[in-house]
Chains A and B, each alone.
Chain A
Amino acid sequence: MINRLVIENLKHRRLRTMLSALSIGFQVTMILAVVGLSRGMLQDSQNRARGAGADIFVKPPAASAISLGGANMPEKMIEAFFIRQPRVVRAAGTLVQPIGGISTVTGVQFDDFAAMSGIRFLEGGRFKDKFDVVIDEYYAEQNMKEVGHTVRFLNTDWRVTGIIEAGKLARIIAPLATLQEITSNTGKISQVLLKLDDSKATPAVITALKNTPGLEGYSIYSVEEFVSMFSIDNVPGLKAFIYVIIGLSIVIGFLVVWLTMYTTVLERTREIGILKALGASPADIVNILLRETLVLALVGWAAGIGLSYAANAAINTLVKASLQSVIVYDWWPIVAAIAIFASLLGATWPGLRAARQDAIEALAYE
């Protein structure tokens, strides 16, 4: 019976119900989008790291696993040392250079890298001249680039010679020597990728490398260790940012529901008086308002999930080279709890006010 009253009341104020639920929905979407983006971008980085085809990643001292740039390792270590190690069949050095925002260009010796990662061209082919680049399909699509077009970064025009399948470490690949030259990193690389004759030998090779004099302080990861570091915890500030978004959305949800319920209570002074005359206790009145709020929160939650699918689809089709987003199912219960918490909090004060309201004041004055 109470549920029928709750539903009828919400239906009666259809527009306000929908707007409030939608506000809660945006609050839910905001959280889902931020978490979905964080996770989508990290997963994309992981996939690309796996796509490099390496078994072991070696980074120089003081470099973070997921840092965007830096080049502190001498390139000649590859020839002089890494390629000579037992079980190592290929070694490729890369120089990673940020080119604005979170985008990077990766410099490679094309043959070494192609052999390791098994690059597949969708169009065109490898670079030949100094200022040639190869881009991946996502970058090409988002920026509408084709073979023969020019792309500009690092104050330089580059000619696109090929478009490769996505998921091979980098979105933009340039000749290592050119990149070293224009970034004043001649002879230096950011990391070395090693391919073994058998992946099963990875732990043994890592142990051997770690015990090599001169490699103290170097970070040596198996590919799985390497990708496991692409996590929300390891991106500086990301967790705090997510908490800020959650906090903001709680505040917004709280205010929206407070306003809605407060207006509702003022408007329904008479109805509350009638209910009391029919024998409703203050607790019954609070119960009715909290149930209305709960319905708002749950409808808003469902709407928010729907909106997050829309946001996801938009991100993954319109800007898929720079942003990636995934649906974060495990966060659905969390955002439900957040939406319910914020809404019930917002309904508390109006609810108590309604419960205390004098029934006869509502009934006596026409």
Chain B
Amino acid sequence: MNNPIIEISGLEKIYRVGDVEVPALRGVDLTVGRGEFLSVVGPSGSGKSTLFHIVGGLTSPSSGAVIVDGRDMANLTDIERTRLRRGKVGFIFQKYNLLPTLTAMDNILMARHFSGANGQPLSEQFNDLLKLLGIQHRLHHKPRALSGGEQQRVAIARALVNHPAILLADEPTGNLDTQNSDRVLSILRDLNQRLGQTILMITHNPEAAAYGHRTVTMRDGRLREE
């Protein structure tokens, strides 16, 4: 693959819960190209979210190499991982995870605040994105006044406001009805095709997985190519 954005080899992650060791990843190898839209499927508990958390710098691997946009994530301190996360990664979750006390717009601006781009006007490109997402007129509402589909679209805007190198979507349609799912998925495909946004998406639904260029399957902490 030419100029990959993610290169993972021999990745292992063991959670320690008290005295018990829970192996979540048992040697994962994966390469993702720049501009690729990758779907990750697999049963519950197979380690998909753990893989995303490591790639996104929310937790550190137990062993193995993870290179994201040229940076090795394996041996970073907490602070370095935080800094990397700010610039390179956007997250979307199944449960939207908007901050409940802030309006949609403030949720977006909060992500911008941590990237250090506080106060600078939003780019023309980002305003186009808000139009694409169809949420411009909903930005001054708090999350509880928004439908699930609207909340997820706000979460997409928030994930992309810092122009991250990769977008990690962990079951983004898991809580949505078919119509809203389709809308979110076509938006992701649009983002990928028009802006060349690299996307990794976890899903249970084969139809959703089909939106990606390529699908990999996780089972018991290992990856298999379809």
Contact = CB atoms under 8 A, between A and B. Distances in A.
A360 B78 CA distance: 13
Given A277-B58, A278-B111, A360-B59, A1 B99 contact: no
B56 A279 contact: no
B100 A271 contact: yes
B205 interface: no
Given A1-B109, A8-B102, A279-B85, A366 B95 contact: yes
A360 B56 CA distance: 11
Interface in B56-106: 56, 58-59, 78-79, 82, 85-86, 91, 93-95, 97-102, 106
B158 interface: yes
B78 A358 contact: no
B119 to A, nearest CB: 9
Interface stretch (A143-151, A174-182, A207-215, A280-288): A280-288
B102 A358 contact: no
B54 to A, nearest CB: 9
Nearest to A280: B114
Q: Which residue of A273, A274, A366 has the most chain B CB atoms within 10 A of its CB atom?
A: A274
A235 to B, nearest CB: 50
Interface residues of B, number: 31
B115 interface: yes
Contacts of A281: 78-79, 82
Given A1-B106, A1-B109, A278-B158, A11 B101 contact: yes
A223 B36 CA distance: 92
A279 B116 CA distance: 10
A5 B110 contact: yes
A366 B106 CA distance: 24
Nearest to A8: B101
Given A276-B58, A277-B91, A5 B102 contact: yes
A277 B167 CA distance: 12
A2 interface: yes
A270 interface: yes
B53 interface: yes
B218 to A, nearest CB: 15
Interface string A350-366: 00000000111001101
Interface string A248-291: 00000000000000000000001101111111111010000000
Q: Which residue of A4, A9, A270, A275 has the most chain B CB atoms within 10 A of its CB atom?
A: A4
Nearest to A364: B49
B100 A12 contact: yes
Given A8-B102, A11-B101, A358 B59 contact: yes
Given A5-B101, A271-B99, A282-B82, 18 more contacts: A1-B109, A1-B112, A8-B101, A8-B102, A12-B100, A271-B100, A274-B97, A274-B99, A276-B82, A277-B91, A279-B111, A279-B114, A279-B115, A280-B82, A281-B82, A360-B58, A363-B97, A364-B49
